[in-house]
Amino acid sequence: MSPYDDPVNPKPGTLRYGVIQSVPLWIVFARDMVIKLKNELIVNSFKTIDGRGAKVEIAYGPCITIQGVTNVIIHGISIHDCKPGMAGRVRSSPTHVGMRGGSDGDAISVFASSNIWIDHCYLARAKDGLIDVIHASTSVTISNNYFTQHDKVMLLGHNDKFIADKVMKVTLVFNHFGEGLIERMPRVRIGYAHVANNKYDEWKMYAIGGSANPTIFSEGNYFVAPDNRSSKQVTKREATNWQNWKWQSSKDVFINGAYFVPSGYGSSAPPYTRVQSFTVAPGYMVPVLTSNAGPLRCLVGKPC
């Protein structure tokens, strides 16, 4: 892959040329590179962007849009310092160039898409969110990522009245929420989130929040509260009538006065199929389980 970028007529060998193709592709990188995109990178279905074997950064410009597609994997990329995209023409397939209204400045925006996996990435300092999953996106897994230096980290759900987000199912597992994060790890609207075996190194406001009656199962996480006595609570509800919302905690570890306020009745267990299900470790194991969060350091000739 080359760091060169043309949003309308991408050259073969560039990342944009690869991600817009109509056929399934596994995209790898021949060398280290910093890719400064000239406009949002619109990813087509059945694409794997695999940064293993090189140090690959998407930074200092618009970043990644996953819209109306399925089966996308983003692995081993550093995505940081993302800027809003300009209104203008952007190619989304070999046969289609569309007029775009300008992107918000998310590191990764997932819009009306399914079967998405974001794994072993580094995400920091975007203009808007680090990851937004909205407009009835579902079957999204966010795993083994390192998040740092950001305000509104992750949004799951478009707005409080967008009832189509009821189909949303998101799994957050083995992520490390590091220094300099303020809120939304994640913030959930309407849909379902399984938050499992993640490490939280403090937060400025709260860790897990939501509105519009989402279901949240916090399982086997490791929460380290900030020293600020008014910010010890893990949870935050953007409503007053939240007592029946299903928010449950199991096997979590709470450090430095952190605490989770549960609510609701009945099971909030994840709706996985037999193939999708996995065993969640107790929270005390999380520092080890998340020790390799972020892009992997791969060695030539060895499995990675």
Convert the chain into a string of H (helix), E (strand) and C (coil): CECCCCCCCCCCCEHHHHHCCCCCEEECCCCCEEECCCCCEECCCCEEEECCCCCEEEECCCCEEEECCEEEEEECCEEEEECCCCCEEEEEECCEEEEECCCCCCCEEEECCEEEEEECCEEEEECCCCEEEECCCEEEEEECCEEECEEECEEECCCCCCHHHHHCEEEEECCEECCCEEECCCEEECCEEEEECCEEECCCCCCEEEECCCEEEEECCEEECCCCHHHCECEEECCCCCCCCCEEEECCEEECCCECCCECCCCCCCCCCCCCCCCCCCHHHHHHHCCCCCCCCCCCCCCC
Residue 7 lies in a domain: no
What is the dihedral angle through the alpha carbons of 100, 172, 147, 31, rounded to the nearest 10 degrees?
A: -70
pLDDT tens digits for 21-42?
A: 999 999 999 999 999 999 999 9
> pLDDT class for 3, splitting at 50, 70, 90?
confident
Q: Residue 58, CB half-sphere, CA atoms under 13 Å: how many?
A: 35
Task: Note whether 238 and 216 are within 8 A (CB).
Answer: no
Catalytic residues: 184
Per-residue confidence (pLDDT) for residue 97, from 0 to 100: 97
CA 174 and chain centroid, separation: 12
Q: Which residues of 250-269 are buried (b: 16+ CB within 10 A; e: fewer)?
A: bbbbbeeebebeeebeeebe
Name 49's bridge partners: 27, 74
Q: Residue 260, CB half-sphere, CA atoms under 13 Å: how many?
A: 25
Residue 225 lies in a domain: yes
**Residue 235 domain boundaries:** 16-289
Lowest mean pLDDT among 3-12, 15-24, 120-129: 3-12
Mean pLDDT of the residues in the chain: 97
Q: What residues contact 260, with CB distance under 8 A and at least 6 apart?
A: 208, 218, 223, 233, 234, 235, 249, 252, 254
Can you tell me the mean pLDDT for 129-153?
99
pLDDT tens digits for 236-285?
A: 999 889 999 999 999 999 999 999 999 999 999 999 999 999 999 999 99
Residue 65 lies in a domain: yes
Per-residue confidence (pLDDT) for residue 2, from 0 to 100: 64
Per-residue confidence (pLDDT) for residue 304, from 0 to 100: 83
pLDDT tens digits for 97-116?
A: 999 999 999 999 999 999 99
Residue 302 lies in a domain: no
Residue 10 lies in a domain: no
Residue 241 lies in a domain: yes
Residue 221 lies in a domain: yes
pLDDT tens digits for 47-77?
A: 999 999 999 999 999 999 999 999 999 999 9
Per-residue confidence (pLDDT) for residue 303, from 0 to 100: 85
The pair of structure tokens assigned to 150 is: 């950001």
Residue 1 has pLDDT above 90, yes or no: no
pLDDT tens digits for 214-236?
A: 999 999 999 999 999 999 999 99
Residue 146 has pLDDT above 80, yes or no: yes
Residue 290 has pLDDT above 70, yes or no: yes
Residue 45 has pLDDT above 90, yes or no: yes
Q: Left (φ > 0), alpha (ψ -120 to 50) or beta: where does 288 sit?
A: alpha
CATH number of the domain to which 21 belongs: 2.160.20.10
Percent residues over pLDDT 90 in the chain: 95
Can you tell me the mean pLDDT for 170-187?
99
Residue 275 lies in a domain: yes
Name the domain count of the chain.
Answer: 1
Task: Note whether 210 and 187 are within 8 A (CB).
Answer: yes
